[in-house]
Structures are given as structure tokens and as C-alpha cells.
Amino acid sequence: MRGSSHLAGRQWSFQCDVSSRADVDRAAERIRQEVGHPTMLLNNAGVNHPNLILDLSDGDIDSMFDTNVKAHFYTIQAFLPHMLARGSGHIVCTASALSYVGASLMTDYCASKHALLGLMEALRYELDKKYKAPRVRTTVVTPGHIRTPLFADVKTSALAAFLSPTLEPQAVAQAMVDALERQESSHIAMPFYAHSAPLLKTLPSFLRDLAQWIANADDTVSACTKAR
């Protein structure tokens, strides 16, 4: 929290199920009482359970949207009021390159990441035009594959690995820290190929299919389904 010199160097941890509004509200109240009002919010929690759409259970779908989408609403609603009151703050959302494109076995995941992009774009305009709080910044991160347990079983071809290299978590975290230090709203797309993801929708279908094939996008998560 900016401006709190007596808190410098100290760390706290609070266990919270972000998919539960009640749990988020309880954790938020504890944080306010024990630490103070946060001025930065990083929404990074996510789940994934790749499967064909007809094989997704109600529980799978609910879990996906409760954690990947609704949790963002819960945390923003919990901490945004104080940011508005002080006239500054920063909200960071980890979306995905799949916020722009789709891939087999990931209908629910892709849908959730598309939703996050819409949420953050609309929030930016609400902050600027309705709340009159342009100094409450927003940053959206749309990374490609990150080397985390969430996609630990993903398999890529040699060509796909060359054209779409896997990101290290530290690199993504550093990009977020850099955005917070700049205190500017931003959109972070990484690695290099993630910048072109929005353009794929404008390509003729045969070129779009070629890009999907080169990236091995429809087969990379097959190993995840076998490992379930």
C-alpha cells in the first residue's frame, strides 16, 4: 500500500476462496482491520479442466466461471470503493491470449477469459466516465502458455514451441510489477505472438486455420484430459 512507510517490508497472507463472495468479503474485512485498505488488486486465480463441451458437468462449468470470472467481480467490489474515495489505485487482471481465440477442449476456459477482457474494458470506461476516477488504473495481462501447474501436462510440437515459447512465471510477474510502478493503465501481451492474437479474427478462414494448426492449439491440452 502506497504511502504506508510503517508497513514497508512486511508481508501478510490471508486464506480465501475467491469463488465465494462471502469468503471474499470476510477476507477483505480482515485485511482492512489488520493491514489497511489495499491500493493495488491483482486478480490472478484460475482453474482449468479441459474437456469436450458435451463432457463438461454442471460442476465444471460453475467452477470455471465462479473462479475465473465471478471472483473478479467479488474482489473488485470489495476493494474498489476505497480506491475511488482516495482517487487512485490499480487493478490488474490476468486474462489470456485465449481471450481472443478459441481452442478445442477449452470452451469453458476460453469463454471465461473472453469475459474477463470485456469486464476490464468496460471497467476502464466506468472509472473514467462515470466514477470520474481516471487515476484508478487498470492493467490487463494476456499471456500465452505459462509454465505453471495449471497447464503442466500441455504438450507442444517443436514448431509450436519455437513460434510460441512458454513463459516463465517470474517474467509475467515482473511485467505486472513494472506496470504497477508506472502507475498507468496498460495492456500487457506476452510473448511476442500474443500481440497478434486479436488480428486472427480478421484473417480469412484458411489462414486462421493454418495459424491454429501451426500453434498446435487444438491438440496441446489433450494430455491434460488424459491426466485427469
Tens digit of pLDDT for each residue in 41-85?
999 999 998 999 999 999 999 999 999 999 999 999 999 999 999
Q: How far is C-alpha 43 from the chain's CA centre?
A: 6
Q: CA of 139: how far to CAs of 3, 136, 156, in Å?
A: 21, 10, 29
Please count the structural domains in the chain: 1
CB 145 within 8 A of CB 166: yes
Amino acid letter, residue 48: N
Say how many C-beta atoms besides its own lie within 10 A of residue 3's C-beta: 9
Q: Which run of H or of E encompasses 215?
A: none
- d(CA 45, CA 190) in angstroms, rounded, equals 18
Extract the C-alpha cell encoding 78.
470489495
Between residues 84 and 5, the one the model is more confident about: 84
Residue 224 lies in a domain: no
User: Is residue 109 among the annotated active site residues?
Assistant: yes
CATH code of residue 24? 3.40.50.720
Enclosing domain of residue 73: 5-149+165-195
Tens digit of pLDDT for each residue in 109-157?
999 999 999 999 999 999 999 999 999 999 999 998 888 776 666 666 6
Q: 74, 109, 125, 193: which one is catalytic?
A: 109
